């Protein structure tokens, strides 16, 4: 019975949002209005979730990593059978099939845990995220403006609101082209994402995202990663261009890549 109780308790814990259990022990920074939490800064995850959000063994130059999926507790995406077969097909063709490898925008939530930073830009009533990856950005509206219908974007259409000290974003109108990672995990154009951003320390930002897509998944599921603030003097987002080589293959080019 004790083992069963432990499993049930562990499963329930995964459903608790960070804002409910994280006891803040640091002064929460505020914008000049004295009310809005200040998330401004350049952030980046130290995880390798971009390889496979379900976790992966050690690879050449990349350490092994655990799943970032917190619900279900087994760390696996709850695919419908046909969608799991599609994921396996994507994995076999991942070197050429991944849209991100062809310099397409990464989509939501993948843009958050890429191997490159993002910058949050804020003022009272305004919230935007600028990603280093291929000049991508999102403007997250904090009003009650209705979502656009029948228009699919790489980064979707976002509406945000404050729930206590957490910033919660609902994302709709995503296209079905993006993957969650390099392993071929995928979704349909009907997917909706509910994001939650919570400061858990002066320089740590907890990111949670719950995906709902009845066409592909048997139930909603949730990921969780921590982003760290870049505090190096003069650190900034750099140019990340996408160019096509002589063979017609597109790839990223930045000032820090040797010629």
- pTM for this predicted structure: 0.86
Q: Does 33 fall in a domain?
A: yes
Helical ranges in the chain per DSSP H? 2-13, 18-21, 81-92, 94-97
Q: Is 254 exposed, middle or buried, given 0-12, 13-18 or 19+ CB atoms closer than 10 A?
A: exposed
The reported pLDDT for the residue numbered 250 is 65
Question: The domain that contains 38 carries what CATH number?
Answer: 2.40.128.20
- pLDDT of 7 > 50? The answer is no
In this structure, of 6-20, 57-71, 128-142, 235-249, the range with the lowest mean pLDDT score is 6-20
* pLDDT over 70, % of the chain: 85
- pLDDT of 196 > 60? The answer is yes
Q: Does 69 fall in a domain?
A: yes
What's the pLDDT tens digit per position in 29-48?
A: 999 999 999 999 999 999 99
Q: Does 75 fall in a domain?
A: yes
Number of domains in the chain: 1
CA 186 to chain centroid = 14
Between 70 and 251, the more confident residue is 70
Between 75 and 1, the more confident residue is 75
Q: Does 28 fall in a domain?
A: yes
- pLDDT of 13 > 70? The answer is no
- pLDDT of 253 > 70? The answer is no
Q: Does 259 fall in a domain?
A: no
- Given a contact cutoff of 8 angstroms between Cβ atoms, the answer to whether 170 and 194 are in contact is yes
Instruction: Supply the DSSP string of 176-230, one letter for each residue.
Output: S---SSTT-----TT-EEEEEEEEEETTEEEEEEEEE-TTTBSS-EEEEEEEEE-
Q: Does 258 fall in a domain?
A: no
Q: Does 124 fall in a domain?
A: yes
- pLDDT of 67 > 80? The answer is yes
> 162, 158, 131: which is closest to 146 by C-alpha?
158
Residue-number span of the structural domain to which 84 is assigned: 2-253
In this structure, of 62-71, 208-217, 236-245, the range with the lowest mean pLDDT score is 236-245
The reported pLDDT for the residue numbered 101 is 82
Q: Does 130 fall in a domain?
A: yes
């Amino acid at each position: 019975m004790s083992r069963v109780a432990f499993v049930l308790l562990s499963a329930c814990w995964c459903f608790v949002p960070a804002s409910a259990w994280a006891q803040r022990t640091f002064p929460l920074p505020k914008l000049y209005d004295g009310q809005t939490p200040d998330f401004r800064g350049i952030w980046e995850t130290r995880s390798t979730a971009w390889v496979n959000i379900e976790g992966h063994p050690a690879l050449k130059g990349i350490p092994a990593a655990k799943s970032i999926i917190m619900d279900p507790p087994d760390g696996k995406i709850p695919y419908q059978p046909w969608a799991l077969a599609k994921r396996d097909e994507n994995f076999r063709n991942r070197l050429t099939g991944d849209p991100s490898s062809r310099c397409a925008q990464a989509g939501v939530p993948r843009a958050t845990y890429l191997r490159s930073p993002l910058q949050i830009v804020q003022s009272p009533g305004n919230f935007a995220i600028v990603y280093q990856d291929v000049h991508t950005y999102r403007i997250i509206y904090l009003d009650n403006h209705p979502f656009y219908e029948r228009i699919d974007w790489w980064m979707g259409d976002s509406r945000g609101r404050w729930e206590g000290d957490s910033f919660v974003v609902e994302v709709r109108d995503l296209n079905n082209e993006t993957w969650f990672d390099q392993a071929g995990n995928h979704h349909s154009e009907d997917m909706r994402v509910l994001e939650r951003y919570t400061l858990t320390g002066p320089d740590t930002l907890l990111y949670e995202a719950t995906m709902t897509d009845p066409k592909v998944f048997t139930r909603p599921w949730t990921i969780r990663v921590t982003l760290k603030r870049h505090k190096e003097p003069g650190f900034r987002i750099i140019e990340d261009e996408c160019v096509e080589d002589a063979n017609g293959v597109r790839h990223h080019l930045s000032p820090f890549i040797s010629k």
